[in-house]
């Protein structure tokens, strides 16, 4: 075990998977940077968030492809190559730009397997930095994972720790289905212990990060970190919570959710997305349908408001669900009579 | 020989270019204080394009801008103090602080917005041009784009659509050499952008984007063409940016002295002075006076933005819809 950042963990996987399998290639805007520049510095950025650093010098331009600004073809090209036997890892610079590639994701990648009666294989990974909290405004801060999760045929992965980043990205690259991999922009610098050597986390297995009999907190992505903060405070108040980190929202670990709900009967779901058609509403619906008899209080959903992400600092701070919002929701289900 | 412009026109153009320059140079300093949040893309170096284009326009001619939009906004007449307050994320901003630097717009001025999505402006500008065509008053829809954006499928579609429906859309392509950290010679396949726009059937003019008069003259011809029902056109301007892609960009993809060299050899303000002072049509003292008044305006804009009230919480869920009952 060594302490690494989330960014380093991801970077390491890209290196090791490209080394391991010559079919793996990466593509995206400025994933190396510097092409056509006047300084001759060929790796000028290593990705805008540094996740793809060092790949170009090591694996060369054929497999580390800096692209023009053409999201639809960045993804479509990776999808096409994957149908033809390669394993494309495409980077979309900001999750918001997924909308420009949505045809290739939703209409193409997601459906080949099904429509070919199980003959086609589309082992593509689309990496997307997502999320609010960095004052980037309405078109550079959205979550998008709620939309992706809703699409049959796409897998949706959301690591919350450097170790999970490693285990899940390795699984994603080796998976034979299209995987959309969500990395929260505010988490790249976060640190944690990462297992050495090969490390794979199978999809569909939530992690139980805290155990308590009073309330089940179900969260994904950065919201898991906020839930952890909230749990510490609540413990001092005598409230003990389960914390379920979904890790993959599709496939969804339904058993982990139901087991916890059965134990506590009180549920708070924390989701950075806007509330309509969110993961929060989806999972709340699932619990009501499948775990109703365990419930002792209405399921609470902590989400962003039904509005675009505002730019002004004060507003954005209030927009994103906070540890305080989570604590308030937990107290509400505890106090429900 | 460039087209004749009156003294007032020239002084007006100089004032706008200077305002853009000082607005951006000041932002560059203010961003380092940490008071301004988020992504800010500065337009310094490209002023002659925005101003050379917008000098021909009135508020009924519509423009669509990019993430690097401050220059287009100022040239189209947006309120400078409202812009500054928006960049500071204050309630007095043009978008009440809810948009930010990448989303400044002023619909009353015919400025349909900066845009955080590279290439999204193309289709919108065709829509603006369609509206102008339906109104039949000889107005146009203008799309400002960096050379990186013209690699987006949406922009290809927009150019073709404009041609097919014979809309008075004008695509302004500002080649500042880079899209983020990648050089134009790499990302623009075939490299010759004018051939691309000509391939779509757009009447195209190439000119030096660091030369106000060259831009102005090119636009006179294209506007005459598109305003008279001949359909879409394009201008390809070579220019340069004096700062990084965004503030904080280390710019290690650029040759060490590139910016310094360009500041001394390709500065559109210096070129403007060289072109217009010798004949005496404008005088140094007139320009000095403008400089002083611009500096005063920027100072006030910063002070007022800093002291402006924050955006109130009620704004969070306001303006999502006009009505939602
Ligand atoms: C759809 C989309 N893809 C990527 C980006 C990230 N991005 C912002 S600006 C930019 C470069 C744009 O280059 P260009 O069009 O030449 O304009 P310039 O920055 O040079 O003014 C990129 C890649 C974005 N904002 N939108």
Joined tokens for residue B5: 């412009």
pLDDT digits 0-9 by tens, A173-197 = 999 999 999 999 999 999 999 999 9
For ligand 1, atom 17, which residue shows the shortest CA distance?
B146
In angstroms, the separation between the Cα of residue A146 and the nearest Cα of chain B is: 20
In a domain, B323, yes or no: no
Q: Which residues of A touch B37 (CB under 8 A)?
A: 135, 311, 313
Q: How far is CA B218 from CA A1, A121, A258, in A?
A: 64, 52, 68
In a domain, B99, yes or no: yes
- Digitized pLDDT (tens) for each residue of chain B, 325 residues in all: 799 999 999 999 999 999 999 999 999 999 999 999 999 999 999 999 999 999 999 999 999 999 999 999 999 999 999 999 999 999 999 999 999 999 999 999 999 999 999 999 999 999 999 999 999 999 999 999 999 999 999 999 999 999 999 999 999 999 999 999 999 999 999 989 999 999 999 999 999 999 999 999 999 999 999 999 999 999 999 999 999 999 999 999 999 999 999 999 999 999 999 999 999 999 999 999 999 999 999 999 999 999 999 999 999 999 999 988 7
| Pairing, β A2-5 against β A24-28 | unpaired
What is the residue-wise DSSP string for A90-106? EE-SSGGGHHHHHIIII
Scanning the structure block, which residue is given the tokens 């506007």?
Answer: B223
- Residue B180 CA to ligand 1 center (angstroms) comes to 6
Total number of domains in chain B: 1
Q: Rounded to whole angstroms, how far apart are CA atoms B171 and B34?
A: 35
What is the residue-wise DSSP string for B51-101? HHHHTT--TTSEEE--SS-HHHHHHTT--HHHHHHHHTTBTTSTTTTSS-G
Tell me the residue range of the domain where B189 lies: 7-315
In a domain, B275, yes or no: yes
What is the residue-wise DSSP string for A101-131? HHIIIIIIITTHHHHTTT------EEEEEE-
Residues of chain A with pLDDT under 70: none
In a domain, B1, yes or no: no
Joined tokens for residue B210: 């660091």
In a domain, B325, yes or no: no
Burial per residue of A158-195, b for 16 or more beta-carbon CB atoms within 10 angstroms, e otherwise? bbbbbbbbbbbbbbbbbbebbbbbbbbbbbbebebebe
* CATH number (domain holding residue B258): 3.40.50.970
All domains in chain A, ordered by first residue: 2-194 (3.40.50.970), 207-334 (3.40.50.920)
In angstroms, the separation between the Cα of residue A44 and the nearest Cα of chain B is: 5
pLDDT of residue B191: 80
pLDDT of residue B1: 73
In a domain, B321, yes or no: no
Query: How many other C-beta atoms are found inside a 10 Å radius of the C-beta of residue B213?
Result: 21
In angstroms, the separation between the Cα of residue A185 and the nearest Cα of chain B is: 13
In a domain, B295, yes or no: yes
Please answer whether residues A20 and A198 qualify as being in contact, where contact means their C-beta atoms are separated by less than 8 angstroms. Answer: no
Which of B67, B120, B187, B236 for mutating ligand 1's site (highest number of atoms within 8 Å of CB)? Answer: B67
Helix (H) or strand (E) holding B203: strand B203-208
In a domain, B200, yes or no: yes
Phi, psi torsion values for A166, nearest 5 degrees: -65, -50
Catalytic (active site) residue A184: no
Q: Which residues contact B107 (CB under 8 A, 6 or more apart)?
A: none
Radius of gyration (Cα) for chain A, nearest Å? Answer: 20
Nearest CA in chain A to B183: A36
Q: Rounded to whole angstroms, how far apart are CA atoms B71 and A276?
A: 38
Q: How far is CA A234 from CA A68, A165, A222, A227, A332, in A?
A: 49, 28, 19, 10, 12
Side-chain-side CA neighbours of residue A267 (13 Å): 28
Q: Could you tell me if B122 lies within 8 Å of chain A, comparing CB atoms?
A: no
Query: What is the pTM for the complete model shown?
Result: 0.97
By Cβ distance, the residue of A36, A137, A307 closest to B186 is A36
pLDDT digits 0-9 by tens, B224-264 = 999 999 999 999 999 999 999 999 999 999 999 999 999 99
Query: How many other C-beta atoms are found inside a 10 Å radius of the C-beta of residue A45?
Result: 25
Q: Could you tell me if B90 lies within 8 Å of chain A, comparing CB atoms?
A: yes
Q: Which residues of B touch A48 (CB under 8 A)?
A: 180
């Amino acid at each position: 075990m060594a302490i690494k950042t989330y960014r380093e963990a991801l970077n390491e996987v890209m290196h090791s998977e490209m080394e391991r399998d010559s079919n793996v290639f990466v593509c995206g805007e400025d994933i190396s940077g510097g092409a056509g520049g006047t300084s001759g510095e060929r790796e000028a950025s290593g990705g805008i968030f540094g996740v793809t650093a060092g790949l170009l010098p090591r694996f060369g331009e054929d497999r580390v492809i800096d692209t023009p600004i053409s999201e639809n073809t960045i993804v479509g090209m990776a999808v096409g190559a994957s149908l033809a036997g390669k394993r494309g890892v495409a980077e979309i610079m900001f999750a918001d730009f997924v909308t420009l590639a949505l045809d290739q994701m939703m209409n193409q990648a997601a459906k080949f397997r099904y429509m070919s009666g199980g003959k086609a294989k589309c082992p593509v990974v689309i990496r997307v930095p997502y999320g609010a909290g960095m004052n980037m405004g309405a078109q550079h801060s959205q979550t998008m994972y709620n939309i992706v999760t809703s699409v049959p045929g796409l897998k949706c992965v959301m690591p919350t720790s450097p170790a999970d980043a490693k285990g899940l990205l390795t699984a994603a690259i080796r998976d034979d289905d299209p995987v959309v991999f969500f990395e929260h922009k505010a988490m790249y610098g976060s640190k944690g212990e990462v297992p050495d050597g090969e490390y794979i986390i199978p999809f569909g297995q939530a992690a139980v990060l805290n155990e308590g009999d009073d309330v089940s907190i179900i969260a994904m992505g950065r919201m898991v970190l906020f839930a952890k903060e909230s749990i510490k405070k609540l413990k001092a108040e005598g409230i003990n919570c389960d914390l379920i980190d979904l890790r993959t929202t599709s496939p969804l670990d339904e058993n982990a959710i139901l087991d916890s709900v059965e134990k506590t009967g009180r549920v708070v779901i924390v989701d950075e997305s806007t509330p309509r058609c969110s993961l929060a509403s989806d999972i709340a619906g699932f619990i009501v349908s499948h775990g109703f008899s365990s419930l002792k209080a209405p399921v609470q959903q902590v989400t962003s408001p039904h509005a675009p992400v505002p730019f002004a600092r004060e507003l954005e701070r209030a927009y994103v669900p906070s540890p305080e919002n989570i604590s308030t929701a937990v107290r509400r289900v505890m106090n429900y009579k | 020989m460039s087209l004749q412009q009156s003294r007032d026109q020239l002084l007006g153009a100089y004032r706008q270019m200077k305002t853009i320059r000082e607005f951006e140079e000041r932002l560059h300093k203010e961003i380092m204080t940490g008071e301004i949040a988020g992504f800010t893309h500065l337009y310094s170096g490209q002023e002659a394009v925005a101003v050379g284009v917008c000098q021909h326009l009135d508020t009924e001619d519509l423009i669509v801008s990019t993430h690097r939009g401050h220059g287009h906004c100022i040239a189209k007449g947006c309120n400078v103090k409202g812009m500054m307050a928006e960049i500071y994320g204050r309630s007095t901003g043009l978008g009440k602080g809810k948009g930010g630097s990448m989303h400044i717009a002023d619909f009353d001025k015919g400025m349909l917005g900066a845009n955080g999505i590279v290439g999204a402006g193309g289709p919108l500008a065709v829509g603006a041009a369609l509206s102008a065509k339906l109104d039949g008053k000889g107005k146009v829809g203008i799309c400002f784009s960096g050379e990186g954006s013209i690699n987006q499928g949406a922009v290809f579609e927009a150019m073709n659509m404009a041609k097919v429906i014979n809309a008075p859309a004008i695509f302004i392509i500002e080649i500042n050499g880079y899209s983020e950290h990648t050089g134009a010679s790499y990302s623009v396949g075939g490299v010759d952008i004018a051939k691309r726009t000509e391939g779509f059937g757009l009447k195209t003019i190439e000119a030096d984007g660091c030369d106000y008069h060259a831009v102005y003259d090119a636009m006179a011809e294209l506007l005459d063409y598109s305003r008279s029902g001949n359909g879409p056109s394009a201008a390809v301007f070579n220019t340069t940016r004096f700062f990084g892609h965004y503030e904080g960009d280390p710019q290690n993809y650029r040759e060490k002295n590139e910016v310094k060299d360009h500041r001394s050899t390709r500065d559109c303000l210096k070129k403007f002075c060289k072109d217009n002072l010798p004949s005496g049509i404008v005088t140094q003292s007139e320009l000095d006076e403008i400089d002083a008044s611009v500096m005063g305006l920027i100072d006030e804009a910063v002070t007022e933005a800093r002291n402006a009230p924050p955006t109130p919480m009620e704004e969070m869920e306001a303006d999502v819809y006009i009505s939602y009952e």
